[in-house]
Amino acid sequence: MISISDAKRDPLPWLNWQGTVYHGLPDDLYTFRPEPGKYLAFLGRISPEKRVDRAIDIAKRIGMEIKIAAKVDATDREYFDDVIAPLLHDPLVEYVGEIGEGEKNEFLGNAYALLFPIAWPEPFGLVMIEAMACGTPGDRLSPRICAGGHGGGGHRLHRP
């Protein structure tokens, strides 16, 4: 068996793992942008374990706009309607819906930072690599963002 990360092996330790092939991207797929954008980004799928609700909370606490580019699978439609949709009425929150591969470069590259506040052991987050390729830092464990600073909401994001 071949895995995409060592973490992907954890639930199946008895398999005969032969190697790991990590994600990669063509070097010309994304444009590096050294200047920070004006919004926080969330890119992925809306589901309880991806914690877009937490990303929205972080954005609101620090007073920054968040743009959410995410699909909603049929299995998560009720969660979206009951939990997430009410959070989208805030003026700091923009739900752009699902975007295609051709739109990721602009979406991620024009962001200040990517929020990736997952609540499960993500084996390998490709979106983190995509954001870094654009020059946009990502924060996987967003609840640990430093106290104080940006926007006065008790959290601070650092963009080098």
Claim: this prediction has a pTM higher than 0.85: no
Cα 10 to Cα 32: distance, rounded to the nearest angstrom = 34
71-81 tens-digit pLDDT: 999 999 999 99
- What Cα–Cα distance (Å) separates residue 123 from each residue in 49, 131, 143? 13, 17, 19
What pLDDT does residue 124 have?
Answer: 67
Neighbours of 65 (CB within 10 A): 18
What pLDDT does residue 128 have?
Answer: 85
Element (DSSP H or E) covering residue 3: strand 2-3
Q: Residue 131: name the closest of 141, 143, 139, 123 by CA.
A: 139
Cα 146 to Cα 158: distance, rounded to the nearest angstrom = 9
116-126 tens-digit pLDDT: 888 877 666 78
- % of the chain exceeding 70 in pLDDT: 84
